[in-house]
Chains A and B, each alone.
Chain A
Amino acid sequence: MNHSFPFVLLLLAGAVAAADTTSSARAKRPPPPPVYLEECTGCHAAYLPRMLPAASWQRLLGGLPTHFGVDASLDAATLAAFRPWLLDNAGDAQRFPVAPEQDRITRAQWFTRQHHGIKPATWQRPAIGSKSNCGACHGQADQGKYGEHDVHIPK
């Protein structure tokens, strides 16, 4: 009881510090370059650099002509315009001790953790259909925004 007030203060201070770190870290994250949005969102959501480790991004960018069974080839100049953004802001080693299987975002541990409450039947709804169809639930996925307040799961 004696300790509870300072303890609460300490917790609050900690929470404020954590929030500060988070918001400043968020503020420092460079937004997706327009060329990335233009080139990559024709087929899928604007996946963010931190969703995969740099090694995965390197492999994916090196294999665009056979990108998950689809030809997503790009000319060198276009690729060079957003490659550094993906690699420089990729998920770090702490987040990714190992690269996800097949370099798939949907196989990353953080993805499974974040979506653990979603039942298989929900993923299979016609309006969703695929775990890579982020925009079905994340209304601003096309702009690379995945905030929880934007989530709306279609029936």
Chain B
Amino acid sequence: MNASIRSASPSRLALLLASLALAAAGARAESPVQIRDGYATLAGATPQAARGQQFFTSRHGADWSCSSCHGAVPTATGKHAVTGKPIQPLAPAFNAERFRTPAKVEKWFRRNCNDVLGRECTAAEKADVLAWLLTLKP
């Protein structure tokens, strides 16, 4: 019973996220706070910035962490771990373009979580990370 619930929830999540993405099909701009709250609602939990920082800087048993490309505190320009290309700051207070388009945010979480964790991130993990990024101020 538990197993079936566990296996069903990711697909339900995917459905919810897909509808979120559809809602944003016109590349409608949102604020990083709205996007964080969207993930928190999906997760059904209050985001925790400290947990987000831990998640962001941890290697999760493999080679890379989010910090590998974005820096330990992503308020400055990072560097792509493979190509060396500079990566503009990720924290919204340091880069107004970050976390504005839900579909774009979803795309990068999907790719980068797969690179770092070998799976997609949960809504709770995304909410935590964004909660932490939102605490970073100039």
Q: Which residues of A contact B (CB under 8 A)?
A: 42-45, 65, 68-73, 128-130, 132-133, 135-136
User: Which A residues are CB-close (under 8 A) to B8?
Assistant: none
Can you show 11 pairs from A to B with CB atoms below 8 A apart?
A: A42-B87, A43-B82, A43-B85, A65-B114, A69-B82, A71-B112, A73-B110, A128-B84, A130-B82, A135-B85, A135-B86
For chain A, what secondary structure do more than half of its interface residues adopt (helix, strand, loop), or is it mixed? loop
Please measure, in the bound complex, the distance between the C-alpha atom of A43 and the C-alpha atom of B82, giving whole angstroms: 9
B73-88 CB mask vs A (1 if < 8 Å, else 0) is 0000001101111110
Closest CB-CB distance, B16 to chain A, in whole Å? 18
Interface of chain B residues 69 through 115 with chain A (CB within 8 A): 79-80, 82-87, 108, 110-112, 114-115
Partner among A42, A69, A70, A133 whose Cβ is within 8 Å of the Cβ of B84: A133
Identity of the chain B residue whose Cβ is nearest the Cβ of A128 in the assembled complex: B84
User: Which B residues are CB-close (under 8 A) to A136?
Assistant: 84
CB distance A133 to B83 under 8 Å?
A: yes
Please measure, in the bound complex, the distance between the C-alpha atom of A136 and the C-alpha atom of B86, giving whole angstroms: 9
For chain B, what secondary structure do more than half of its interface residues adopt (helix, strand, loop), or is it mixed? mixed
Closest CB-CB distance, A78 to chain B, in whole Å? 9
A-B contact count (CB 8 A): 41
Please measure, in the bound complex, the distance between the C-alpha atom of A51 and the C-alpha atom of B25, giving whole angstroms: 33
User: Which B residues are CB-close (under 8 A) to A128?
Assistant: 84
CB distance B115 to A71 under 8 Å?
A: yes
Partner among B85, B87, B111 whose Cβ is within 8 Å of the Cβ of A71: B111
Identity of the chain B residue whose Cβ is nearest the Cβ of A44 in the assembled complex: B83
User: Which A residues are CB-close (under 8 A) to B80?
Assistant: 43-44
Closest CB-CB distance, B130 to chain A, in whole Å? 18
User: Which A residues are CB-close (under 8 A) to B111?
Assistant: 70-73
Partner among B85, B108, B110, B114 whose Cβ is within 8 Å of the Cβ of A133: B85
Please measure, in the bound complex, the distance between the C-alpha atom of A45 and the C-alpha atom of B111, giving whole angstroms: 18
User: Which B residues are CB-close (under 8 A) to A44?
Assistant: 80, 83, 85
User: Which A residues are CB-close (under 8 A) to B115?
Assistant: 70-71
CB distance B83 to A130 under 8 Å?
A: yes
Identity of the chain A residue whose Cβ is nearest the Cβ of B86 in the assembled complex: A135
Closest CB-CB distance, A102 to chain B, in whole Å? 13
Please measure, in the bound complex, the distance between the C-alpha atom of A148 and the C-alpha atom of B125, giving whole angstroms: 45
A44, A45, A65 pick with most chain B CB within 10 angstroms:
A44
B82, B83, B108, B112 pick with most chain A CB within 10 angstroms:
B83
Please measure, in the bound complex, the distance between the C-alpha atom of A133 and the C-alpha atom of B83, giving whole angstroms: 5
Closest CB-CB distance, A53 to chain B, in whole Å? 21
